[in-house]
Every structure is written in structure tokens, then in C-alpha cells.
Amino acid sequence: MSGRPGIYVIYRPLPAAMLTLVLAAVGALAGLMLGTAAAAALGQRDPGTGVWDTSSAITLSGTIVAEPYPMLLPDDGAAGVLLVGVGKVGPPQEVLDLIGSSASVTGYRLERDGMRMLEVQSTSAGEGSGGPIARTPADRGEHAIATEILDSKCYLGAMKPGSGEGHQACAILCVRGGIPPMISWSDAAGVRHYALLTTAGGEPMRDEDTSLIAEPVVVTGTLTARDGWLWMAADRIER
Amino acid sequence: MSVQYRAVNWTRHKVVYDLVLAGACVAFVGVFMVMSMVVHPPPNEVSPPILVMRALGTLAIVLLHVVLAIGPLARLWPRTTFLLANRRHLGVATFLVAGLHAFVVYGFYGGFGVENPVLAVLVRPDGSVGFEFVGFLALLVLLVMAATSHDFWLALLGHGVWKAMHMAVYVAYALVVAHVVFGVLRSEKSLVFPLLLLGGALVLGGLHLVAGGREWRRDAASSDESEDGWIDVGDPHEIPDKRARVVCLGSGNRVAVFRDGDRLSALSNVCAHQGGPLGEGEILDGCATCPWHGYQYHTENGQSPPPYTEKIPTYELRVRGGRVEVNPRPNEPGTPTTPVSITEGGAS
């Protein structure tokens, strides 16, 4: 005989001398696989501090505005809360019907670094008049910001990390569906800033710009502060 | 071996193989999820659907590497052939895991919106395509291979065509690499991912080069011809009992010269099933047995024992001056030959 343990034949009993080899090979392969799983898991970037709390809905009261993205300006004077629908769409018609009016909006909270959004579950007209609101913007000047265009719902917590090439298709779908686009960048001191993105004229982002979502881009335009948010009115968006 | 159609010819080994494979897949996803939660614990965790799609995508790539490594591994270290015996189940598992990955991606990245979920992922609004489309192409290749993996297709197409078709696994691998480079590597900054991808490519490339190089050297060293064109096989006593020596003919065909006691017989080295290296098997139950899937052939006529019907070419042998020689002209598959004795012709 050859002195080898015999060949492995799938329909015959395993030669006894091969058992140790089989166990060792399977163990080595399993170890390699699980080691790869651990390494790949540990290599993932930090998804950030976004929250999507679907454990209980909250109700906020205030005035609904929509220039250009639907938002609730709370009665307590806190920063505006973006309003979106269930899924990758803007808020439901019942919200749009109450633009300019006082309302109570119930929904699930999304929040990152103090910026809030409600995924609207229900809306009811409020008791206040919902009359004109002073929303004077503060000019922050012209800027050219190297950034990435994000969809605010995923980035605030619905689909963490909600950024990067891997998330591009989802982000495009969200923005095309009515989710407000936003940008994020760090200043020289390392402080993170966020701004909702509009056209130069303050309109919702153009459809042709959606192909630049989740790409490294430079957004040039005018920054203003309003309703507790920064807004970037983009003159140019370039790769 | 089989003489009738069955979805899967289950054996105890296949059941154990598949259970181990399934367990490894579940453990992989579990380790990925747990380690992800450890490094980014709640409430600052990666969203669960994304974790699942990442875990499944990574697992599919790892399985594809294992599938591709098994072939050269078995050539370099024949004792690892047991990994190869059920490789098709591993290939189908790779497709299923990749398909699940795509399903989760289409569901969560493409779903819940105002467009078709699959198209939303595959095609950008300007008509261009991204890395997802490359992954989709890889999945299509894996689908075709999984769908045609059964012996039914092997018998229908013949192992030459079938094998050539299934070499498309290398196309799938190239597409998967591109999918990762243009997707993951553009999003993730950790060096872990390029290092894992590069490491996998180096291991696979190295295994294939070493295995191919060894085979090439062996073929080049075994083509000495006598004056009448017969090919020298060597000293018959050096062929281990119940095993074979493989020689390469000038035509590039390989012959397996089997020794069974003091008798020698020559068969094509190519198994009629999947083209496995018959000469790397051994004689069991009086038959040359392929190390890949256990297909058997009588050494004196190249025919599978009844009720099986496979046949492979046989070759004439002679022993002269203590050396065994093979006639390079193959006989028709299944042609009986007379075994020669190792002591014929003045053997030492």
C-alpha cells in the first residue's frame, strides 16, 4: 500500500486515519472565516450618534412651515423639526394641508447632534392662529464646502451610517421622494456643522443634482441661519 | 454515482458537509453582528438591516474564496480532496448567500420609496450604473452556475462544455472584486477591507500559480518517447500498489497507469463525470476510483461497474527492459485491454 490514509470517497465510510485531518482542516477553515467576520466587523466606520426612536411616538405642537422643506416650528421656540413621511417620502398630505397653520404632529423622532425630524404618524390642527411667523434669516456669508450630499432622514438615524458610496442609491431615492437633502462638514476646530441644501433661489434641490448625492463634492453658495438650522443656497455643486 | 435523476444524491457525508457549512454561515453572521455591536454599541450602532447586508455580503465573498481555493488546494495536497467532493453545494450556498445579500440591499436601500426597488438600486437617475450593477452581474453569473450545477446539466452538456462554462466563476470573482473596490472601499476608510481583499487575491493567485506550475513541470518531465512512439512511464515497481502514475502524452492528454498487485493497466486520466484527475485516486473494489466524487472504472476496460454506464478510453501498455511504456494512441472508451505484468520484459 502507499502508506497514505486512503482517498476520501463521499459514499464510503471515512477512513479512520483521515478523521484528524478532516477535523483540522474544517477547524482551520472555520477559524479563518470567523476571523474574517470579526475583522470586517471591527473595520466598519463609526456610524455616528443618529437616533430613530420607534419605541414610542411623540407629539409636538407648533406651526407648520414649508420654505422649502416642511418643518414644524415648535411653540416652545426650539429649533425647527423636519417633517417626513413613513418610508422614503416627504410628509403626508395632511401635513401639507396645514402649512402656515398651528398643528400638533405625532410621529417617531429622528435626531442627530440636536437636529430633529419627525416621521409623521398623524397630524391634527392646533388651537393657535398659525399666523405669520418672524423667521428672519441671519446671513453667514459665501462658502465653498467640501462635503457629501446626504439624505437627512437616513443620516439623522433611519439608516446609519447613512452616508458614503454604499448608501448612494438609497440617498438618491430618499431625496427624489421628498426627504430634504443636507450637507455636513467639520470646521478647522473640528466642530461638526450641518446645513439643509437648497437651490440658489431657496427652492428644493433640483432633480439633476441628485446624481451628485453621496459623491465627494464642493458645494459653493450662501449660508444662512434660520429656524435653528443652517441653510446652504447652492450656486454650484461640483465633483 | 447515479443512474437515475435525483435532486441530490444524499449521503451521510453530504449531510454532515452541508450541516457544517450551514453552521459556519450562521456563526459567521453571528460573529459579524456581535463584533459590530461590541465596537459600535447601542444607541450608536450601525442600523441592523445594514449590518445584515454587510454580514451576508462579506460571507458571500469569503465563501467564493473558499470555492476557488479548493481546486488548487486539492491538487497541491490531495488529502484535502474531501473539501472538493461536495464543492457544488458550497457553490450553491455562495449564490444563496449572495442572493440574500442582494435581497436585503434591494429591500432596504431600494425599498420604501417611490420607484421600483431593484431599478432604484441598479440604475442612477441619469441612466448611469454604479457598483451595485457590477454586483448584480456577479450574482447573475453565480445564478447560472448554481442553476446548472446538477449532474443533469453535466450529462446534457458533457463535462468539457460544463466545466468550461463553470470557469465563469472567475468572471464572478473579478466582478465581485470590482463591486467591493467601487463600493465598500470608497465608503469605508479602514485598511482592514483593502487588506482582506488583497490578502484573498494573493492567496488565490498564489495557490493557482503554484498548482499550475507544479502540473506544468510534471507534464514536461514525463514525455520521453521510445523510437516507435511509445511513452516511457518509468519503473513499474515505483508505482505504489492500488495507485497510479500519471504521464502526459505529446498530445497533452494524460494517462493514468494503475498498478493492482503485479498487474498494470492504463486509463485516461480524465474522469467521465467532471473531468477529475482519475490518476490521483486509487483502486477500490477492483476499480480505479476518482478522488473527486468516487466514480469508478474497471482498470482493464475503462467501464464503470453495472448498473453505471460511464466509459473512458483505455491505453495499451508494455514492459521493456524493466520500464513500462504506454501507447499514446487511445482506445475507444470502454475498450478491453490485457493488463501487463510488472515482471514482463525482463523487469528488474
| C-alpha span between A218 and A232 (Å, rounded) | 12
Which chain A residues are within 8 Å of B199, Cβ to Cβ? none
Asked whether the beta carbons of A227 and A68 are under 8 A apart, the reply is no
The answer on pLDDT for A96 being more than 70 is yes
Nearest C-alpha in A relative to B78: A7
The answer on pLDDT for A1 being more than 50 is no
Instruction: With CB atoms and an 8 Å threshold, state whether B121 touches A169.
Output: yes
**Residue B5 pLDDT:** 58
Backbone angles phi, psi at A176, to 5 degrees: -65, -25
The answer on pLDDT for A121 being more than 70 is yes
Instruction: With CB atoms and an 8 Å threshold, state whether A165 touches B55.
Output: no
The predicted complex's ipTM stands at 0.92
A43 interfaces chain B, CB cutoff of 8 Å: yes
The answer on pLDDT for B7 being more than 80 is no
The answer on pLDDT for B3 being more than 90 is no
Helix (H) or strand (E) holding A131: none
* Locus of grid cell 410621529: A107
**Residue A211 pLDDT:** 85
Q: What is the mean pLDDT of residues B240-245?
A: 95
- Per-residue pLDDT band at A182 (split at 50, 70, 90): very high
Q: What is the mean pLDDT of residues A146-163?
A: 96
Return the axis-axis angle of helices B159-166 and B131-147, rounded to nearest 10°.
Answer: 160
| C-alpha span between B278 and B267 (Å, rounded) | 8
**Residue B4 pLDDT:** 59
**Residue A159 pLDDT:** 95
Angle at B282 between CA B245 and CA B297, to 5 degrees: 100
**Residue B251 pLDDT:** 76
How does pLDDT run across B290-307, given as a tens digit for each residue?
Answer: 999 999 999 999 999 999
Nearest C-alpha in A relative to B63: A33
Among B25, B31, B76, B297, pick the best mutation site for testing chain A contact (most A Cβ within 10 A). B31
- Per-residue pLDDT band at B85 (split at 50, 70, 90): confident
Q: Who among A6, A160, A173 is closest to B47 (CB)?
A: A160
- Per-residue pLDDT band at B348 (split at 50, 70, 90): very low
The answer on pLDDT for B222 being more than 70 is no
| C-alpha span between A37 and B36 (Å, rounded) | 10
The answer on pLDDT for A129 being more than 70 is no
How does pLDDT run across A21-72, given as a tens digit for each residue?
Answer: 999 999 999 999 999 999 999 999 999 999 999 999 999 999 999 989 999 9
**Residue B138 pLDDT:** 98
Asked whether the beta carbons of B168 and B157 are under 8 A apart, the reply is no
Between A169 and B85, whose confidence is greater? Answer: A169
Q: At B204, which amino acid appears?
A: L
How does pLDDT run across B173-189, given as a tens digit for each residue?
Answer: 999 999 999 999 999 99
For residue B229, give how far its alpha carbon lies from the nearest alpha carbon of chain A (Å).
31
Q: Who among A9, A45, A89 is closest to B190 (CB)?
A: A45
**Mean of the per-residue pLDDT values of chain A:** 92
The answer on pLDDT for B223 being more than 70 is no
Which of A131-135, B29-33, B143-147, B269-273 is predicted least confidently?
A: A131-135
Which chain A residues are within 8 Å of B130, Cβ to Cβ? 165, 168-169
Q: What is the mean pLDDT of residues B256-270?
A: 96
- Per-residue pLDDT band at B264 (split at 50, 70, 90): very high
How does pLDDT run across A199-217, given as a tens digit for each residue?
Answer: 999 999 887 788 899 999 9
Q: Who among B49, B189, B242 is closest to A45 (CB)?
A: B189
**Residue A128 pLDDT:** 66
Q: What is the mean pLDDT of residues B73-98?
A: 92
E-strand spans in chain B?
231-234, 244-248, 254-260, 263-268, 282-284, 287-289, 296-298, 314-315, 317-320, 323-326, 340-341
**Residue A2 pLDDT:** 42
- Per-residue pLDDT band at B344 (split at 50, 70, 90): confident
**Residue B151 pLDDT:** 86
- Helix runs in B77-111, H state only: 87-108
Instruction: With CB atoms and an 8 Å threshold, state whether A8 touches B291.
Output: yes
**Mean of the per-residue pLDDT values of chain B:** 92
Q: What percentage of residues in chain B have a pLDDT greater than 70?
A: 96
For residue A55, give how far its alpha carbon lies from the nearest alpha carbon of chain B (Å).
13
Between B274 and A85, whose confidence is greater? Answer: A85
Asked whether the beta carbons of B21 and B36 are under 8 A apart, the reply is no
For residue B230, give how far its alpha carbon lies from the nearest alpha carbon of chain A (Å).
27
Asked whether the beta carbons of A194 and A184 are under 8 A apart, the reply is yes
Nearest C-alpha in B relative to A53: B43
- Per-residue pLDDT band at B11 (split at 50, 70, 90): confident
| C-alpha span between B9 and B1 (Å, rounded) | 8
Q: Who among A159, A168, A169 is closest to B50 (CB)?
A: A159
Q: What Rg value do the Cα atoms of chain B yield, rounded? A: 25
CA distances from B273 to A138, B3, B226 (A): 78, 12, 32
Q: What percentage of residues in chain A have a pLDDT greater than 90?
A: 80
- Among B288, B77, B338, smallest CA distance to A28 is for B77
**Residue B6 pLDDT:** 67
The answer on pLDDT for B121 being more than 90 is yes
Asked whether the beta carbons of B160 and B271 are under 8 A apart, the reply is no
Q: What is the mean pLDDT of residues B113-127?
A: 94
| C-alpha span between A234 and A239 (Å, rounded) | 14
CA distances from A71 to A117, A120, A194, B235 (A): 8, 11, 16, 89
Bridge partners for A139 per DSSP: A224
How does pLDDT run across A131-145, given as a tens digit for each residue?
Answer: 556 678 899 999 999
